[in-house]
């Protein structure tokens, strides 16, 4: 039982040996020594909490916060000793904060559980008891035989047993795992491949032995032992037999496989980074500020205690006639009395630490996060998807991003290849209405409307149709007539390709007249202008990154032996001896400048003698036991020479809309963009160029294909030297996965220096965990930059979880990235608004909120400290206990909360059209030490003005008598202590509320309601609280105090004078700084004033009916430079850059668009 509880809490994972033994269909041996192994269930868990650990884990996370821990200590102190205030004053707010935060975080985790349950509850079919049983994904056990149909994703890691094909092969796409969209072929062992029915599989007796789960997607070692009659057959199992969870079955009707790894032990789940509590930079700043205020509090408490005993050193003040000591107090230890007094002062001043800050921040984050979901500019109509917030704790972090790490496939691109142009025999062609048309010709031209192909064109298209690894949908090759109608017109063929380029080229060829119709045994069938031809496939020379080309050797219908080859221009053109080489090279460069992915196509005719030599060499190399790879490379080079160039192709990897503009905007904002992809080197570079990540003028540096530490280090040193020498131009770095592993092993600092000096970095051939390592490398560098990772597939989950902010793209490759992200958007282009508008607003709002809270609590508690100098440090409170409790909860809470939800200091359009404004808030600029010091000093200054202003202005007023009068030498009767405290409190409530009004730029009716309403509520509450004798109150010190205070004309004069004195210097400082040292943001606000959106940045954003105080408001606005006299309308012209249609809820205002 104890072990089960520990496992549920995550402290005690099940014991594992080095290997696991799996009995297929869970047919365990009936005799012999069999020790059952425990395996994980098939549940996927992306949530943080369980029912068992929610309370302890959540409480631990909450009490890591300095304020929460501090108030817990204060609450315990109040319970243990006699203190000036009740334990309820600390305990109740603490309980409220903890409860609200727990509910919010519990709700967010419930959403994650809900998403997990959708995946875990997906229907699957399992072979049990001789039949197919429908069950839920979470119920699959290791050893179960699972059936997966075409286009379904694999629910577990399976070893393939059989498919609908005789050879037991199937095709899958792993785009959601490693970003590669090509089809991969997997094969079953021959003994199980023939078991294609449920009945036959149910009779299978076999055992699989394999390694324990590991994260490497491309590694699997195991063996299967099949019992047939009296013999046992042992077959090896490798990666070609393993079907990974998250991959999708393609071009195969159905397969059967046995579950070997389940749930969180699947390779997909092992590539997730463990979920950790992300904390924003603002929260870390808050904790730092709290520690500083804690030091101030301790200083005040220690000073007060020392001064109390210094004062009591005089005998007359040690025990005054009105405050006699008890016998217990006289006999108690001096040390204990000192500690007790110190703790009492600590409790008296404890409100300098704002506990309500955390609950206000939590509410601001939670409520503010709805704006992202409501923003119609982040809504994608085609897919009916809106932005999604999974974690509201990081809203302000969106305004602090310095590095963006993005996936390529499905994030920057639509993952759709389109044929654009080609060059044949030195002539450029384009596809026009299904016909190949030379450049410059149209359908109206004499040669533009041709129904036949020239010899060179036909040969080029045949090369494209034969030199590939494309397959046709199995459904379309069934039947006697094949995929052809009786009239000879081709039915639409569905192609599956090893690369999206090949698929686009074969589809383009089929549209212009040369159609690949499939393979039959060792033959490839095509139709050239309706005429069927069959080519015998003799040899395939596979693609490899060193050669950067692939070839096929075929026998034509006439018996001629031909080599067709295609590849990068750098690997084809030098090997060509004839054809239009120079013209083609020019055309390839032109295609590349357009951002197209280019391939060159060539061929070679073999004489019988040449082919005999080629066949002999290939056979020897392929059967060699030693140095097979090197010998094959030599033979391939021998074959692929003396080529005749046919032409080149230009294929576009369709980028998502506005990717180029978004990347450029990120650059202007001072954000560096890194592309991390599992794709091939050439493909990745091509997309980087087309999307604007790499510029054509950039010097592209490469760190690729390194096999040893020494060569990698030497290359890094050369790159660093080149960057230093060519410091004027921009550099882009390309690094692959293997070289990255070597660079991070022993040369991390050198690698980081090279990366930081490059404008753009591209990492290709990356494993999922390598992506996370790169992000961690930047996160932990000395500068500690804020990172953001964005991706759409399961291969991006680790990177998304590692970064400070993780964003999932709602793409075509499943929902793993979305489920594990902090935010989810439908398209990459939405990132600009998410950062430049929402991130900017959230950061400004919360930075002001945090510092305003510290300011108003300094204003609140400093007069209490000053008052002790006038009451012999007797720990008498200045304010009534009800005012102490309600100051942060009622009187001053709503204006700052509403500000933190609706404030727009600059128009959203301006923020998005001027990304450079993002730099103003970078590196936590508004929560640095200088702004914090300003707000703190301002709080102390205002507190001194409140206290001494009230004391000096009202000290001589003899009309305010009647409560706790004190005779003072050389003075008349001083007015009562409760009246004095109420006057200070009244001035304070009005001043801190008006200070919030000065900080507000964007006024709505809600702002007006809570700002002026808070002041009115305070007056009404005080009149009722002090004007009526309440039967449920034990004492009522405040009875009639407030009414008596307001009956004095000098009190009203003092209130107005003190409030103006406090705020006047603040207004002057703002005006001077705005005109003498304006920031980019303030300049943008001035630009707004001249461009017709002035009223957004002013206090004049009210409805037409709000005329009260209009003249005073107008004066204030003109003084502070917020509103011009002309009061222009709030409009936005359609010519403004790509933000003309802002339908965001954020721009909602209370006035008519034509008037302010």
Contact at 8 Å (CB) between 945 and 984?
no
> Token pair of 820, please?
């594990």
Helices (H), ranges, 349-454: 355-368, 370-374
CB atoms within 10 A of CB 1032: 4
Residue closest to 567 by CA, chosen among 463, 638, 494: 463
Contact at 8 Å (CB) between 201 and 256?
yes
CB atoms within 10 A of CB 21: 15
Q: CA 907 to CA 1002: how far, in whole Å?
A: 9
Q: In Å, what is the CA distance from 218 to each residue of 27, 171, 244, 805, 849?
A: 29, 16, 10, 28, 50
Q: Could you tell me how many residues make up the chain? A: 1156
Q: Which helix (H) or strand (E) holds 988?
A: helix 977-999
CB atoms within 10 A of CB 594: 13
Owner of token pair 């006047």? 1064
Q: CA 504 to CA 652: how far, in whole Å?
A: 9
Contact at 8 Å (CB) between 258 and 208?
yes
Contact at 8 Å (CB) between 907 and 1088?
yes
Q: CA 81 to CA 74: how far, in whole Å?
A: 11
Owner of token pair 């490379």? 633
Q: CA 157 to CA 776: how far, in whole Å?
A: 28
Q: CA 812 to CA 902: how far, in whole Å?
A: 35
Q: CA 1016 to CA 1024: how far, in whole Å?
A: 12
User: HSE of 439 in the Cβ direction (CA atoms, 13 Å)?
Assistant: 10
What letter does residue 590 receive in the DSSP assignment? Answer: H
Secondary structure string (H, E, C) spanning 1061-1073: HHHHHHHHHHHHH
Residue closest to 301 by CA, chosen among 357, 339, 356, 354: 339
Contact at 8 Å (CB) between 1059 and 987?
yes
So which residues are the catalytic ones?
A: 407
Q: CA 1117 to CA 1100: how far, in whole Å?
A: 8
Q: CA 24 to CA 555: how far, in whole Å?
A: 45
Contact at 8 Å (CB) between 775 and 789?
yes
Q: What is the DSSP string of 300-334?
A: HHHHHHHHHHHHTTSHHHHS-TTSPPPHHHHHS-H
Q: In the chain, how long is the greatest CA-to-CA distance?
A: 127
Phi-psi region of 559 (alpha: psi -120 to 50; beta: other; left: phi over 0): left
Q: CA 360 to CA 850: how far, in whole Å?
A: 9
Residue closest to 201 by CA, chosen among 142, 258, 124: 258
Q: In Å, what is the CA distance from 752 to each residue of 669, 676, 701, 729, 1081?
A: 22, 16, 14, 19, 32
Contact at 8 Å (CB) between 1134 and 1078?
no
Number of H helices and E strands in the chain, helices first, is: 40, 35
Tell me if residue 753 falls in helix, strand or coil: helix
């Amino acid at each position: 039982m104890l072990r089960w509880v520990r496992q549920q809490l995550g402290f005690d994972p099940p014991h594992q040996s080095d290997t696991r033994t799996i009995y297929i269909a869970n047919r365990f041996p009936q005799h012999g020594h069999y020790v059952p192994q425990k395996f994980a269930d098939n549940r996927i868990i992306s949530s943080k909490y369980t029912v068992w650990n929610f309370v302890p884990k959540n409480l631990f996370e909450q009490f890591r916060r300095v304020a929460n821990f501090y108030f817990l200590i204060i609450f315990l102190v109040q319970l243990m000793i006699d203190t000036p205030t009740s334990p309820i004053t600390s305990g109740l707010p603490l309980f409220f904060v903890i409860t609200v935060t727990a509910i919010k975080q519990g709700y967010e985790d419930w959403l994650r559980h809900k998403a997990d349950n959708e995946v875990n509850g997906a229907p699957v079919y399992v072979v049990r008891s001789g039949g197919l049983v429908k069950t839920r994904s979470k119920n699959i056990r290791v050893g179960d035989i699972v059936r997966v149909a075409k286009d379904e994703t694999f629910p577990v890691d399976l070893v393939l047993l059989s498919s609908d094909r005789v050879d037991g092969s199937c095709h899958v796409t792993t785009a959601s795992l490693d970003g590669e969209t090509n089809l991969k072929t997997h094969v079953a062992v021959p003994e199980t491949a023939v078991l294609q029915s449920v009945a036959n599989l149910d009779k299978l007796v076999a055992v699989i032995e394999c390694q324990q789960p590991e994260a490497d997607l491309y590694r699997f070692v195991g063996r299967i032992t099949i019992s047939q009659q009296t013999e046992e057959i042992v077959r090896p199992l490798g990666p070609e037999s393993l079907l990974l969870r998250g991959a999708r079955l393609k071009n195969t009707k159905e397969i059967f496989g046995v579950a070997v790894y389940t749930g969180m032990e699947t390779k997909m789940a092992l590539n997730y980074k463990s979920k950790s509590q992300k904390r924003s930079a603002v929260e870390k700043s808050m904790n730092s500020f709290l520690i500083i205020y804690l030091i101030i509090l301790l200083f005040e408490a220690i000073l007060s205690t020392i001064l109390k005993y210094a004062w009591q050193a005089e005998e007359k003040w040690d025990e005054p006639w009105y405050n006699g000591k008890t016998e217990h107090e006289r006999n108690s230890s001096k040390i204990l009395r000192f500690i007790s007094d110190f703790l009492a002062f600590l409790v008296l001043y404890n409100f300098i630490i704002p506990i309500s800050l955390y609950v206000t921040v939590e509410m601001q984050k939670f409520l503010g996060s709805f704006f992202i979901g409501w923003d119609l500019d982040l809504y994608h109509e085609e897919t009916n998807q809106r932005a999604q917030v999974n974690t509201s704790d990081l809203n302000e972090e969106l305004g602090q991003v310095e590095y963006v790490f993005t996936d390529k496939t499905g994030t920057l691109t639509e993952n759709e290849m389109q044929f654009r142009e080609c060059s044949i025999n030195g002539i450029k062609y384009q596809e026009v209405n299904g016909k190949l048309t030379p450049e410059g010709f149209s359908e109206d031209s004499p040669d533009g409307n041709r129904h036949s192909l020239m010899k060179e064109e036909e040969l080029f298209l045949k090369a494209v149709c034969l030199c590939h690894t494309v397959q046709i949908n199995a459904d379309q090759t069934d039947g006697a007539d094949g995929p052809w109608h009786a009239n000879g017109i081709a039915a639409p063929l569905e192609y599956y390709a090893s690369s999206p380029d090949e698929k686009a080229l074969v589809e383009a060829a089929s549209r212009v007249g040369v159609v690949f119709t499939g393979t039959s045994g060792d033959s490839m069938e095509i139709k050239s202008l309706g005429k069927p031809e069959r080519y015998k496939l003799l040899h395939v020379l596979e693609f490899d990154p060193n050669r950067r080309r692939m070839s096929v050797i075929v026998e034509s219908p006439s018996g001629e032996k031909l080599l067709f080859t295609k590849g990068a221009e750098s690997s084809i053109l030098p090997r060509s001896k004839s054809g239009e080489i120079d013209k083609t090279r020019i055309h390839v460069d032109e295609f590349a400048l357009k951002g197209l992915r280019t391939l060159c196509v060539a061929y070679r005719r073999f004489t019988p003698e040449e082919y005999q030599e080629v066949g002999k060499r290939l056979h020897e190399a392929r059967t060699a036991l030693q140095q097979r790879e090197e010998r094959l490379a030599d033979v391939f080079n021998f074959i692929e020479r003396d080529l005749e160039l046919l032409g080149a192709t230009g294929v576009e990897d369709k980028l998502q809309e506005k990717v180029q503009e978004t990347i450029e905007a990120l650059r202007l904002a001072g954000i560096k963009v890194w592309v991390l992809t599992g794709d091939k080197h050439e493909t990745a570079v091509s997309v980087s160029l087309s999307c604007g990540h790499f510029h054509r003028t950039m010097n592209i540096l490469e760190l690729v294909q390194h096999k040893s530490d020494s060569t990698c280090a030497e290359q890094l040193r050369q790159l660093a030297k080149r960057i230093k020498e060519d410091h004027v131009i921009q550099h882009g770095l390309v690094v692959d996965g293997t070289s990255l592993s070597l660079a991070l092993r022993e040369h991390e600092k050198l690698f980081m220096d090279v990366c930081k000096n490059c404008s753009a970095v591209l990492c290709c051939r990356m494993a999922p965990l390598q992506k996370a390592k790169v992000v961690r490398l930047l996160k932990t560098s000395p500068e500690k930059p804020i990172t953001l990772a964005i991706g759409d597939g399961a291969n991006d989950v680790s990177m998304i979880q590692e970064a400070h902010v993780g964003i999932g793209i709602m793409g075509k490759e499943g929902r793993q990235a979305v489920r594990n992200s902090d935010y989810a958007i439908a398209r990459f282009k939405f990132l600009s608004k998410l950062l430049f508008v929402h991130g900017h607003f959230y950061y400004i709002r919360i930075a002001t909120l945090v510092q305003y809270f510290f300011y108003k609590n300094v204003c609140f508690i400093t007069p209490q400290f000053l008052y002790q100098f006038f009451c012999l440090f007797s720990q008498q409170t200045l304010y009534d206990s009800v005012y102490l409790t309600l100051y942060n909860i009622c009187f001053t809470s709503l204006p700052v909360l509403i500000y933190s939800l609706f404030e727009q200091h600059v128009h959203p359009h301006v923020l998005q059209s001027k990304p450079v404004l993002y730099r103003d808030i970078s590196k936590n600029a508004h929560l640095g030490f200088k702004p914090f010091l300003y707000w703190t000093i301002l709080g102390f200054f205002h507190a001194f003005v409140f206290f001494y202003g009230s004391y000096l202005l009202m000290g001589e007023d003899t009309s305010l008598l009647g409560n706790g009068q004190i005779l003072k030498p050389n003075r008349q009767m001083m007015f009562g202590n409760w009246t004095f405290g109420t006057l200070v409190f009244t001035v304070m409530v009005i001043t801190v509320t008006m200070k919030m009004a000065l900080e507000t730029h964007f006024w709505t009716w809600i702002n007006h309601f809570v700002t002026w309403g808070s002041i009115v509520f305070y007056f009404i509450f005080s009149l009722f609280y002090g004007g009526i004798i309440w039967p449920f109150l034990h004492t009522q010190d405040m009875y009639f105090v407030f009414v008596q205070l307001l009956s004095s004309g000098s009190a009203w004069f003092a209130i107005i004078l003190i409030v103006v004195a406090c705020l006047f210097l603040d207004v002057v400082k703002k005006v001077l700084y705005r005109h003498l040292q304006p920031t980019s943001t303030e300049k943008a606000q001035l630009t707004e004033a001249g461009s017709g959106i002035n009223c957004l940045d002013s206090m004049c954003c009210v409805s037409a009916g709000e005329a009260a105080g209009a003249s005073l408001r107008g004066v204030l606005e003109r003084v502070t430079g917020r509103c011009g006299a002309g009061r222009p309308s709030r409009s936005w012209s359609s010519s403004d850059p790509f933000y003309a249609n802002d339908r965001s809820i954020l721009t909602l205002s209370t006035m008519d668009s034509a008037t302010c």
